[in-house]
Structures are given as structure tokens and as C-alpha cells.
């Protein structure tokens, strides 16, 4: 996909960028996510997700499973923090 098209989708709220600064990876929002535009959806790419300690990844995904992705998870900020702290922008 062309860069310009990705940028258009990001601006239209159809696509999100990885939370790690300068990471070029993006993800298309699912239909469920797009149905809730009031939520500021955030995403960490697979590469940077691996920087997060497994204990937090597990806590986060268990919380999501239990309460639903739209309700946010108290572990998300910590996961993002670690993804950024230990991530290099490649
Ligand atoms: Zn990333």
C-alpha cells in the first residue's frame, strides 16, 4: 500500500500508528473499533510488543478478554512505556 493512502487512512481514523515514536508500522482498525470513534484506539506493533515484559503482556490480554478491548486496560500504559523504553525505531 502506498504511503499516502496509509496517511489518508490514519487521518480518517481508519488506521493507527504504532505507539513507539518513529516506528513506521501501522494497523487497520477493525470494524468493531471503527464503530467506536469516540475511543482513541492505540496500538503497538508486533516487533515492539516483544519489548514488553511477558507478565505485563499477559495481564493486559487477560484484562481485555475479561472486560473487552473497548474498556481499556490498566496495564496498557505500562506496556507502551516498556515498548518505547526498550524499543529502537526500526
Ligand atoms: Zn512499532
* DSSP tag of 43: B
Residue 87: its pLDDT value, please? 62
Residue 33: its pLDDT value, please? 92
Residue 69: its pLDDT value, please? 79
Whole-number Å distance, alpha carbon 82 to ligand 1 midpoint, is 12
Helices (H) and strands (E) in the chain, counts: 5, 2
Whole-number Å distance, alpha carbon 88 to ligand 1 midpoint, is 9
Residue 77: its pLDDT value, please? 95
Whole-number Å distance, alpha carbon 47 to ligand 1 midpoint, is 6
Residues of the chain with pLDDT under 70: 87-90
Q: Does an H or E element contain 8, and which?
A: helix 3-11
Residue 88: its pLDDT value, please? 59
Whole-number Å distance, alpha carbon 75 to ligand 1 midpoint, is 18
Give the global pTM: 0.86
Residue 68: its pLDDT value, please? 86
Q: Give CA–CA dist 40/19, Å, rounded.
A: 12
Amino acid at each position: 500500500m502506498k504511503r499516502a493512502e496509509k496517511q489518508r487512512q490514519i487521518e480518517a481514523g481508519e488506521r493507527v500508528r504504532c505507539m513507539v515514536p518513529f516506528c513506521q508500522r501501522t494497523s487497520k482498525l477493525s470494524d468493531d473499533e471503527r464503530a467506536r470513534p469516540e475511543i482513541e484506539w492505540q496500538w503497538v506493533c508486533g516487533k515492539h510488543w516483544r519489548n514488553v515484559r511477558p507478565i505485563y503482556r499477559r495481564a493486559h490480554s487477560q484484562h481485555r478478554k475479561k472486560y473487552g478491548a473497548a474498556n481499556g486496560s490498566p496495564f496498557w500504559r505500562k506496556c507502551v512505556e516498556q515498548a518505547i523504553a526498550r524499543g529502537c525505531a526500526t
